[in-house]
Structure 1
Amino acid sequence: MKESRFGSWLAIVLGASYFLIPLIGTFEFSLRMKRGEYSFEAYRVVFSDPNFQASFLFSTVMAVVTVVLGILLVVPTAYWVQLRLPKLRPLVEFVTLLPLVIPAIVIVFGYLRLYNSSSFLPLTNSSFGTNVLLACGYATLALPYMYRSVESGMRSIDVRTLTEAAESLGAGWPTILFRIILPNIRSALLSGAFLTFAIVIGEFTFASLLNRPAFGPYLQLVGANRAYEPAALAIIAFFVTWACMGLIQIVGRARGDSARR
C-alpha cells in the first residue's frame, strides 16, 4: 500500500512539475522587463497596447458569435437525433469528429478556394463576409466539443417525455426547443460555450490565413518582435483558458448539487 501511494504521488508530482515549472519560468521572465528588479511593466505595456485591446475584443466578439452559431447548429441536430433518429447517432458523431482529424489549414484553404473573389459566393471580397467565414470556421473547429457537451446534456434528461408533455399543452417546435429543452441543458451549453471561447481566443491558423485582426495572430506577431511582452501574453492566454476550465467545473458542480437537491 505504501509503495502504491508513493508511486501515485510521484506520478502526480512529476506530471505537475512538467506543466508548472515552464509556466513559473515564463511568469518569472515576464517580470524582468525592468533591469535589476521584478515588475509588471510587461503586463502594463501589453494592456495599454491598442492592438492588444482591438485583437482581444475582436476575438471575444467572434467567440460570442461562434457560440451562438454552434448552439443554433448543434442543439436542433442533437435534439432530433435523440428524439427521432437514434440510429443516426454513430454517423453524426463521426461527422462531428472530422474537425479533429482534418487539419485546420486544410479546412481554411478549402474555404479560400470555395469562397474567393471568383467563386459563386465571394465572401472574401469584404470584411463582413470574411468575418462570417471566420465564424463558420471557428464553429467547425469547436463542433466536436460543443456537440458532445450538448449531446451529454440531452442524454441526462427525458427528451421524449418533455416533448410529449409540451405537445399535449399545444406547444410548437420552436417553443419546445427554446423554452423547454434549452433551459434543461443550460449547464451542458455553458460547458460547450466555455470550451468554444477558449478555442477561439487562442486560434491562429484561420485568423492568419483569412487576414483577420484576431488575438492569435497578434500573439505570434508580438512573439516575433519583442522579448518580455510575449511571456506576459502567454500567461494572460493561459489564465483565460484556465478561467474557462474553472467555470466549467463550477457549472458542473452546481448542476450536480441542484440534481441532488
Structure 2
Amino acid sequence: MRRGTPILSTVIVLLGAAYFLVPLYAAFQFSLQMKRGELSLEAYRSVLSSSVFLSTLTFSAVASFAAIAMGALLVVPTVYWVRLKLPRLRPVVEFLSLLPLIIPPVVLVFGHIRLFGSNSVLPLTMTASGTNVLLVMGYVVLSLPYMFRAVDNGMAAIDIRTLTEAAESLGASRIRTIAGVIFPNVRSAIVSGAFLTFSICLGEFVLASLLNRPAFGPYMVQLGQDYAYEPAALAILSFALTWTLMALMQLFATRSPGRRRRAPLKTSTTP
C-alpha cells in the first residue's frame, strides 16, 4: 500500500518553524527601521562600528576558547579512564556532569566569590586576571554537560580498549596514548562540544555580570536598556553566529575521524 502524505507531521513542523521564524522576522524587520520612513542597515552599521562591541566580543571569544581547551583537557581523559578502568563509576560521573543543569549559575558565581574572595587563601577576585580565570572556570562548569555528552558519544563509537592495547604494544605511555591516539579519534566529538561551548559562553550573562567582566552577554543587556533598534540588530547577528556554529558543528561531526585523502597510485610505463 502506498503511504499517504503525513499531513499531521507536516503541520506540526510548520507550526514549530513559524514559532521560531516569525518572531525572528519581526525583529529583523524592526532592526531595518532605524531611519524613519525607509528600510536601512543603519542599526547594523552602528553596532558593528562600535568599539565596545568589538572589545566585548573579543573578550568573550577568548574566554570561550580558553574554556573549550580546559574542558577538553578535563573531559577527554576522564571519560577515557572511566570507560577503560572504572565502568562502574560511569553513572556517578554522568550524574556529576549534569549538576550544572540543576544548580543555577548565580549559586555557582557566589560560591566562587565566597571561596576566592578577599578573605580566601587564594584571592583571585582581587585582580583582573584572577577574575578572568574564575570566569573561564565557570564557563567550563556550565558547558560540562554538553562537552561530556559529545565526548562520551564519540568515545562509545570507537574501541578504546583495542586502541590502548595496540598503542601500549608499540611502547606508548598512557599519556602518549591519550594525546596521540584517543584525542585524534574523538576529534569530531570534541569539535561538536567546542561549538556548543562557544555558543553557550558567548551570550552568558550571570557569571560575567556578577564578576564584573567586560563580556558580550552584559553588553547585549546594557544595549537593550539604552537603545531601541540596535538590540534587534544585535539579536539577529547573534542568531546568525549561532546558526553558523551549528552548521559547522554538523559539518565536522559528520566527518569520520582519521580519514585522509589518499594520493593516486602512479603506474610505471617502462617495460
- Give TM-score scaled by structure 1 length: 0.96
Deviation at 1:169, TM superposition (A): 0.7
Moved over 6 A (4+): none
In structure 1, distance between residues paired with 2:254 and 2:190: 14
- Aligned partner of 1:91 in structure 2 is 92
Deviation at 1:252, TM superposition (A): 2.3
- Aligned partner of 1:237 in structure 2 is 238
User: 1:163-178 counterparts in 2 under 5 A?
Assistant: 163-178=164-179
Which deviates more, 31-40 or 4-13? 4-13
In structure 2, distance between residues paired with 1:34 and 1:91: 57
Deviation at 1:118, TM superposition (A): 1.1
Deviation at 1:243, TM superposition (A): 1.1
Q: Does 1:28 align with 2:29?
A: yes
In structure 2, distance between residues paired with 1:204 and 1:78: 29
Alignment-mate amino acid for residue 226 of structure 2: N
- Aligned partner of 1:50 in structure 2 is 51
User: 1:1-261 counterparts in 2 under 5 A?
Assistant: 2=4, 5-255=6-256
Deviation at 1:244, TM superposition (A): 1.2
In structure 2, distance between residues paired with 1:143 and 1:136: 11
Aligned pair count reads: 259
The superposition leaves residues 205-243 of structure 1 with CA deviations (integer Å, 9 ceiling, x where unpaired) of: 000000000000000000000000000110111111111
In structure 1, distance between residues paired with 2:118 and 2:241: 36
In structure 1, distance between residues paired with 2:185 and 2:255: 14
Please tell me the root mean square deviation across aligned C-alpha atoms, in Å.
1.7
In structure 2, distance between residues paired with 1:237 and 1:41: 17
In structure 2, distance between residues paired with 1:255 and 1:161: 18
Larger Rg computed on CA atoms: 2
In structure 2, distance between residues paired with 1:114 and 1:21: 45
Alignment-mate amino acid for residue 105 of structure 1: V
In structure 1, distance between residues paired with 2:212 and 2:31: 28
In structure 2, distance between residues paired with 1:221 and 1:69: 29
Secondary structure of 2:67's aligned partner: helix
Alignment-mate amino acid for residue 36 of structure 2: R
Deviation at 1:245, TM superposition (A): 1.1
In structure 1, distance between residues paired with 2:75 and 2:251: 23
Which deviates more, 206-215 or 105-114? 105-114
- Give TM-score scaled by structure 2 length: 0.93
Secondary structure of 1:254's aligned partner: coil
Task: Report % sequence identity.
Answer: 55
Query: Structure 1: which 5+ runs fail to align?
Result: none
Contact 2:109 2:138 in 1 (8 A): yes
Alignment-mate amino acid for residue 121 of structure 2: F
Contact 2:191 2:253 in 1 (8 A): no
